[in-house]
């Protein structure tokens, strides 16, 4: 299975820029997607196909990358962005998720 590795946690101050990384154990082309999960809620789609912003998602969120290295950027971070962020690949079967990065606001 394709393993997606994310840093477990980050802490940033409101107004700062934060980058969340996701590294794949093998190439996933650009079939990488990002989700936000707030405490007690279901995940919601932020970015699909590495860099496409889902409708209704603030333009503060952006994605980049291809192959094995991907990044989700939030600029500027707001208090409401406190959540866990997951990357997910759909290039190789089975589809797999990263372990999640918990974003905390200082």
Partner 1 sequence: EVQLVESGGGLVQPGRSLKLSCAASGFTFSDYNMAWVRQAPKKGLEWVATIIYDGSRTYYRDSVKGRFTISRDNAKSTLYLQMDSLRSEDTATYYCAILRGWFAYWGQGTLVTVSS
What are the residues binding partner 1 (CB under 8 A)? 31, 33, 35, 41-45, 48-49, 54, 86, 88, 90, 93-100
DSSP letter for each residue of 73-89: EESS--GGG-EEEEEEE
4-6 sheet: strands from edge to edge:
4-6, 18-24, 69-74, 61-66
In DSSP terms, which residues pair with 105 in a beta bridge? 12
Kindly tell me which of 67 and 99 has the beta carbon lying closer to partner 1. 99
Pairing relationship of beta strands 9-12 and 101-105 according to DSSP bridges:
parallel
Question: In whole angstroms, how close is the CB of 9 to partner 1 at the nearest point?
Answer: 13
Contact yes or no for 87/98 (Cβ under 8 A): yes
Question: In whole angstroms, how close is the CB of 80 to partner 1 at the nearest point?
Answer: 19
Kindly tell me which of 59 and 93 has the beta carbon lying closer to partner 1. 93
Question: In whole angstroms, how close is the CB of 14 to partner 1 at the nearest point?
Answer: 26
Kindly tell me which of 17 and 96 has the beta carbon lying closer to partner 1. 96
Kindly tell me which of 42 and 106 has the beta carbon lying closer to partner 1. 42
């Amino acid at each position: 299975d394709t393993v997606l590795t994310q840093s477990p946690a980050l802490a940033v101050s409101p107004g700062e820029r934060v980058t969340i990384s996701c590294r794949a154990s093998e190439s996933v082309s650009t079939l990488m997607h990002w989700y936000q999960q707030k405490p007690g809620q279901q995940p919601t789609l932020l970015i699909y196909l590495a860099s496409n912003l889902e409708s209704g998602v603030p333009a503060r969120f952006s994605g980049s990358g291809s192959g094995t290295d991907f990044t989700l950027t939030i600029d500027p971070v707001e208090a409401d962005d406190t959540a866990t962020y997951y990357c997910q690949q759909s290039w190789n079967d089975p589809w797999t998720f990263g372990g999640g990065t918990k974003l905390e606001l200082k």
